Every structure is written in structure tokens, then in C-alpha cells.
Structure 1
Amino acid sequence: MEALNTIKCPKCGADIDVSDVLFHQIDEKNKLDYSQKLLEKENEFKVLQKQEKQKIEKELREQLQDENTELVKSLKSQLDEKSNQVKEFNKTKAELERITREKDELKEKIEAESELKLTQKLNEEKEKIQKDAEEKNQLKISEKEKIIDQLMVQLKEAQRKAEQGSVQLQGEVQELAIEEWLRTNFPLDTIEEIKKGARGADCIQIINTHVKQNCGSIYYESKRTKDFQQTWIEKFKLDMREKGALIGVLVTDVMPKEMDRMGQKNGIWICTFEEFKSLCFVLRESIVLLSSAVATQENKGDKMIMLYDYLTGNEFKMQVEAIVEGFIQMQNDLESEKRSIEGIWKKREKQIQKVLLNTNHMYNSIRGIAGTAIGPIKALELPEPNKDI
């Protein structure tokens, strides 16, 4: 019996129990069938569970929707009721404002009418009183008006005299300032004041040195008016010829329209008081150089003409202006010491270089004309070559 249930393996020759093989096959098949049926049951349960869940959710949604609908209807009803109340309130408020406005308008109308009537009555009374007063005091009013007219004429005359006196006083102050400046800075020179009432300008500066007296003269006139008069120049030139002055300087608060700074016009130097403080040094030095050249170049008319042409030419004028600009800038910088001291040193160094350069140009231009008659200035000459080299 056992031999019937046993077979040999054709490959290895081992005995194989057929019953065990069949049992295992049937067991595997049963397990597979069971697993498949179990999976089908689980799927059916999931489907049923999902359907039941959807059904419950649908019922809940319908229930919530019904409840929300009732709530919305209730809220809408309350809102409509509140809206009607607000409309009624606004209507009542508008009516109240209309009544108040009509009341105010009526009050203002009554007050305006009353004020108009009162004003008319007051004007009538005022006109009546004024008419009576005019009839009674017409003569007195005429006398007072005449007195007022006389006082106005006297007042205008007094103002005119005061203005003339003020302008004259301002001019005298500047004249004194010019004379004081010249006496302080040039103690060797003679500063002659032109007396009040005498024909001529304000003062004349006769230039003296340690070597020579009366090297030449500079004529100064001070003007402090609102407008520059062109006739001043011609009159000033006539006064210069009478006094025999070499150079004329017109110190004025107001420059000619065609000039915005110091310069020459028709042979006359025109400048402000601040520019005068620097210009007087340069002009004085030019006269000293000219006098020295004349003293050493007597009987040499050609060179004198050349010197005169140079001193009255544009080149000399530009050099003088450049030197004066340098002095003015230095003076302005000295008055503004609040700035950085290092910056001031740099500026002054440039300005001094500018002054020295223009002075050197003027010196060499004159020496080129006058030759060795002009004494050498060591600071402006080239150093002597080293003899050891």
C-alpha cells in the first residue's frame, strides 16, 4: 500500500509521498480561495461602508441646509426691520434739519431787515447831523484845511532839507574816512583837504619819499548819491588839470551802468570805498616808479613817452586791477578768520603768488623801457650764478 502511494524522482531517485504532495496542493488552493473570498468580502464591506457614509453625509447636509435656510430667513427679516427703522429715523432727522434750517433762515432774515432799517435810520440821522455841522462849521473847516495845506508844504520843505543834509553828511563822512586812511597808511605824504565852498574835489595826495619830495599827486573825490552822473568825470578832469594832478580817483557808492567793478573811464579811476583801500597803494607805487624813471631819464623824451603810454595803457590797467583784486581778496580773507586756518594759508599763498607775479610783470615792463636807470630789486632778480661751478 505504501508502495502505491510512493514514487521515485526521475532525476535524483528519491522517494516522493504522493499523498503529501496532494495534501499540500489542496491546502494551498484552499488558502488561496479563502484569501480571495476574504478580499471580496472586504471590498464589498468597504463599498457598503462608503455608500452608508455618503448617505449619512447627504442627510446631514440636507438637515444643515434646512436649518441654515431658516436662520437666513430669520436674519433677513430682522435686517429688513432694522433697515425700515433706519429709513424712518433718517426721514425724521431730515425733516428736523429742514425745520431748523427754515427757522435759522427766518431768524437771519428778520435780523437783516431790522439791521437794515436801523442802518438806514442811523444814516439819515448822521446825514442830518453832518449837514447841520457843515452848515455851522464850514468856515472853521476851510480855515483848518488851509492850515493843514500850509503845514504840508512846510513839512515837505523840511523833509527836502533833511534829505539834502543827510546826503551831504554821508558825503562828508566818506571824505573824512578817505583822508584818515591816506594819512594813516602814508605818513610821509601830504594830504591836503579842499575847503568847503572852494572849486575842486575833496582832497589831494602829494606823494613824498625819503629820497624825493613831491613825486606827483593823486586827486580824490567822494560821491555818495543814488545815481552816477556822467558829468562828474569831465568836471573832475578839469579840476585835475587846474591842480596838476597825475591821477584822478573817483570814490563812489554807485558805479556807472557799464561798470560792475573798479576800472578806468575816460582817464579817471572809478572805484568803491573798499576798492579804494587797495587801489591807493598801487597808484602811489606807480607814481613813485614813474618819478624815479623821470629823474634818471631827463632829456630822453622818447622813453618818457613810452613810460607814459605804458602807464596809461590797457596792460598797466589790467595789472593794477589784478594787484588790487589780490589785495581785496586778502583783506576779505583776513576778515573771515572763522574758516579753517589751513585753508586760509593755502588761499593766501595763491593770492600772494598772484600779487608777486603781477608786480614782477609791472617791474620788468618798466625796466624794459627805462633800462638800468631803474634800480634793481633783489627779490625780483635772478640769483647770481655760483662762481665755484
Structure 2
Amino acid sequence: MKRKAEQGSMQMQGEIQELALEELLRTTYPFDEIDEVAKGVRGTDCIQTVVNSLQQSCGTIVYESKRTKNFSNDWTDKLKQDQITCKADIAVIVTETFPNGMDRFGEKNGVWICGFHEVKSVSFVLREMLVKTQAVKSSDENKGDKMELLYTYLTSNGFVQNITRIVENYDGMTNQLNSEKKAMHKIWASREKQVWVVQENISALFGSIKGIAGKELATASVLELPDTSFEE
């Protein structure tokens, strides 16, 4: 009776972990498809269909949840067979106990093994692998067609018109900038001439007054020529 009770308790805990695993995946990856495995497929709990930002299917990950005191090496063989049946790209065992020689997540016989506390990080890495792989496949697909489309565009009137428009705007901005520089130089030259005229008139006016008033008028140093005498 005790063994049956313990067995029932372990089974309930295992089912709770399965539900927690599905909820974790759905919460972490809201745009992915997290499905329970159809009846008749043994050894698996759920399948994650990875979907990228372009809403493209990048592959699938099959998960099996285990919560027992001992790890069975038969689990990997069964899950690999279930992986083939489900046509999944990656297989993961989420377990409370690890096989001999493992104390944390890792890969064994083509199956990834991790604890429940590690499944979020492990699933993220495996998911990124599928997304990157899909990106490489997409870039390779229709590569010849893409090159042809690019060549067609580069030799089209639309491309030539765009380049012409860019060059025209650039030339227009350059000419406008040069015109503004020339105009500013003229303004500066005119103002400089006016300043010199004012200075000459002030000097002449002060000289005339100085000639009349003589020494009684103080000398303004700013109007005097610099002292060019040298000591012998």
C-alpha cells in the first residue's frame, strides 16, 4: 500500500511537472506553438514549433518530462524514436535526476538532458539554433532569383533616376553652399571697408582738433602710431 501510494504521488508530481513545463514554454515563447503530443505517441509530453519574427516555422523541439529517483538510459532511445515519429528536429528530456557522469544539462546520444530549472535557458539556446538555421536556409533558397532581381533593378531606369536625383540634390546643395560663401565674403569685404573709413575719419577728426587745441588736448593712445624708436 505504501509503494502504491508513493507511486501515485510520484505520478502526480510528474504530471504537475509536465503541466508546468508546458506553461513555462507558452509563457516564455508566446508566438510559438506548444502542443500536447497526440494520443498513441508514447514517451513525449509536448512539442514546441518554433516560429520566427516573420511567422515562419523554423523547426520543432520535442520534450519529455521525467520526475523519478533514477535516470533510465532507455529514455533516450525511446525519445529518439518518438522524435522520428513526430518529425522533430531536437529532443529534450527534462528530468529531476541525471544519468551517470552528468550533473547538469548536456547532450547524450543525440538527446539534450536538463533539469527543470535549466529548461528555460536550454530551450532558448536550442530555439535560437533553429531560428539561425532557418535564416541560413532562407538566404540560400532562390539565391539565383534574388541575384537576377538585384541585377534587373541595378540596370533599370528607376535605379538610374534615383541615382540622378541624388546627384542633382548633392550638386544643388554644393552650389548653394558656394554661393552663400561668396555672398558672405562680399559682405565681410564691404563691412571691413566701412570700418576702415570710419577709423580714418575719426583719426582725421582727432588730428584736426589736436592741431587746434595743442597740448591741452589729451592724446588717445588708440589713435597714435606705435612707438618705433630704438634704444642706442
TM-score range, shorter chain: 0.5 to 0.7
Instruction: Between the two structures, name the one with larger relative contact order (CA 8 Å, sep ≥ 6).
Output: 2
The answer for the alignment partner of 1:232 in structure 2 is: 75
Return the letter of the residue paired with 1:172.
E
Matches within 5 A, 1:1-389: 158-194=1-37, 198-298=41-141
Pair 1:228–1:217, CA change in 2 (3 A): same
Return the letter of the residue paired with 2:76.
I
Name the CA distance, whole Å, in 2 between partners of 1:226 and 1:168. 12
> 8 Å contact 1:208–1:215 — kept in the other structure?
yes
Cα distance, 1:270 vs. partner? 0.5
Name the CA distance, whole Å, in 1 between partners of 2:95 and 2:126. 17
Name the CA distance, whole Å, in 1 between partners of 2:74 and 2:130. 27
Cα distance, 1:195 vs. partner? 5.0
Match of 2:20, SS state, is helix
Cα distance, 1:296 vs. partner? 1.6
Name the CA distance, whole Å, in 1 between partners of 2:38 and 2:133. 29
Return the letter of the residue paired with 2:18.
E
Cα distance, 1:200 vs. partner? 3.9
Q: What is the aligned length?
A: 143
Across the aligned residues of Structure 1 and Structure 2, the Cα RMSD in angstroms comes to 1.7
> 8 Å contact 2:45–2:65 — kept in the other structure?
yes
Name the CA distance, whole Å, in 1 between partners of 2:63 and 2:18. 9
Q: Larger helix proportion, structure 1 or 2?
A: 1
Name the CA distance, whole Å, in 2 between partners of 1:219 and 1:265. 15
- TM-score normalised by the chain length of structure 2: 0.58
Match of 2:53, SS state, is coil
Task: Map Cα deviations across residues 229-279 of structure 1 (whole Å, 9 max, x no partner).
Answer: 001000000000111111111111111111121110011111111111211
Return the letter of the residue paired with 1:194.
V
Name the CA distance, whole Å, in 1 between partners of 2:104 and 2:56. 33
How many percent identity over aligned positions? 54
Cα distance, 1:212 vs. partner? 3.3
Cα distance, 1:290 vs. partner? 0.5
Match of 2:101, SS state, is coil
Pair 1:160–1:195, CA change in 2 (3 A): farther
Unpaired runs of at least 5, structure 1: 1-157, 301-389
Name the CA distance, whole Å, in 1 between partners of 2:108 and 2:88. 17
Cα distance, 1:198 vs. partner? 4.1
Q: Larger strand proportion, structure 1 or 2?
A: 2
Cα distance, 1:176 vs. partner? 0.8
Larger Rg: 1
Match of 2:57, SS state, is coil
Unpaired runs of at least 5, structure 2: 144-232
Match of 1:215, SS state, is strand
Return the letter of the residue paired with 2:72.
Q
> 8 Å contact 2:41–2:82 — kept in the other structure?
no
- TM-score normalised by the chain length of structure 1: 0.35
Name the CA distance, whole Å, in 2 between partners of 1:184 and 1:255. 26
Cα distance, 1:196 vs. partner? 6.2
> 8 Å contact 1:194–1:200 — kept in the other structure?
no
